[in-house]
């Protein structure tokens, strides 16, 4: 009997050790090197977020006068970087906006942290807004956000507070942590059950996020319900990585549906191609023109 107990104990230790290693790996995004640079004139900028320095690019609007300009802050997704969201730059810049692109902590050129999560993305978005509001060439009352995927989650969570943004666009945004974990485990060719819930809990433990904080502060449906700015939610029906059912889920759960919550379904292949649908820019630019 004693050998059986010892064997079970060893097996459990091995299982937990493997799970912990997977959690660490899952919270250590591969660094994307920002080889590609903006075609427009830009400044290398940096600002503080928590205990780390965040690096970004500020692209001033084309207008030659000295009046402060409206700004759109573009937020990349998980395991991505500012150079990966430059596909949004030209249309926004042509429309007269200044732009701020930055690498979230643990990504691109920015300093790292132990365990990046949706909470760190949220706080990086808030830090970016504070930085933008300090710039004399930015109209502090005319700042918008555009977040892709995980960056959309961080942006929506940030907009739950009065941080001074006028409008938010999310593109291909997950709405449930289960969906994110399913996508991660598919990359490892591993099933969600029974690993997914355990890995999710371990990741939040590593990041110091409690169940109460997760439920009360990091809920996407709650953030959408209590948003402090208008939001346009965009998703492609052909997104196989983060399916458009995530947008369906959010809209079904929205109790207080007002005119300042808009959604747009497009039909482009992949997780990073919504902007290729002609309806994307027609709706996004109109939305920003209305609110920013």
pLDDT digits (tens, 9 = 90+) for 160-178: 999 999 999 999 999 999 9
Cα 167 → chain centroid: 15
pLDDT at residue 11 in the model: 62
CB half-sphere exposure, 168, CA atoms < 13 A: 32
Q: What is the pTM of this model?
A: 0.94
pLDDT at 152 over 90: yes
Q: How confident is the model at residue 21 (pLDDT cuts 50, 70, 90)?
A: confident
pLDDT of 16 higher than 90: no
Q: Report the CATH number of the 35-176+209-291 domain.
A: 3.40.50.1820
Q: Give burial (CB, 10 Å; 0-12/13-18/19+) of 2.
A: exposed
pLDDT at 259: 80
Alpha-carbon span 56 to 144, nearest angstrom: 16
Query: Quick one: pLDDT at residue 164?
Result: 94
pLDDT digits (tens, 9 = 90+) for 198-246: 888 889 988 999 989 988 899 999 999 999 999 999 999 999 999 999 9
Break the chain into its structural domains and give their ranges: 35-176+209-291
β-pairing, 98-102 vs 69-75, is parallel
Range with lowest mean pLDDT among 168-177, 194-203, 243-252, 282-291:
194-203
Residue written as token pair 């355990």: 198
Helix (H, G, I), strand (E, B) or coil at 62: coil
Rounded to whole angstroms, the Cα distance separating 220 from 215 reads 10
pLDDT at 7 over 70: no
């Amino acid at each position: 009997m004693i050998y059986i107990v010892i064997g079970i104990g060893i097996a459990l230790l091995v299982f937990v050790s493997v799970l912990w290693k997977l959690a660490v790996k899952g919270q250590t995004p591969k660094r994307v090197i920002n080889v590609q640079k903006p075609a427009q004139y830009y400044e290398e900028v940096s600002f503080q977020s928590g205990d780390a320095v965040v690096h970004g690019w500020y692209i001033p609007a084309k207008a030659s006068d000295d009046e402060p300009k409206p700004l759109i802050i573009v937020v990349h997704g998980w395991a991505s970087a500012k150079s990966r969201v430059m596909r949004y730059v030209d249309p926004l810049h042509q429309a007269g906006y200044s732009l701020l692109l930055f690498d979230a902590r643990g990504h691109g050129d920015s300093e790292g942290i132990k365990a990046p999560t949706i909470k760190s993305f949220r706080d990086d978005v808030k830090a970016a807004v504070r930085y933008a509001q300090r710039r004399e060439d930015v109209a502090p009352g005319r700042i918008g956000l555009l977040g892709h995927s995980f960056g959309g989650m961080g942006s929506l969570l940030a907009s739950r507070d009065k941080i001074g943004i006028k409008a938010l666009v999310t593109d291909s945004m997950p709405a449930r942590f289960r969906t994110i974990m399913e996508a991660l485990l598919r990359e490892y060719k591993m099933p969600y059950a029974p690993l997914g819930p355990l890995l999710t809990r371990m990741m939040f433990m590593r990041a110091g996020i409690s169940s109460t904080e997760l439920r009360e502060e990091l809920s996407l449906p709650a953030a959408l319900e209590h948003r402090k700015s208008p939001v346009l939610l965009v998703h492609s029906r052909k997104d196989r990585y983060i399916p458009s059912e995530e947008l369906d889920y959010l809209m079904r759960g929205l109790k207080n549906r007002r005119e300042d919550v808009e959604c747009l379904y497009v039909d482009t292949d992949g997780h990073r191609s919504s902007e290729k649908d002609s309806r994307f820019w027609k709706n996004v630019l109109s939305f920003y023109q209305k609110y920013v």
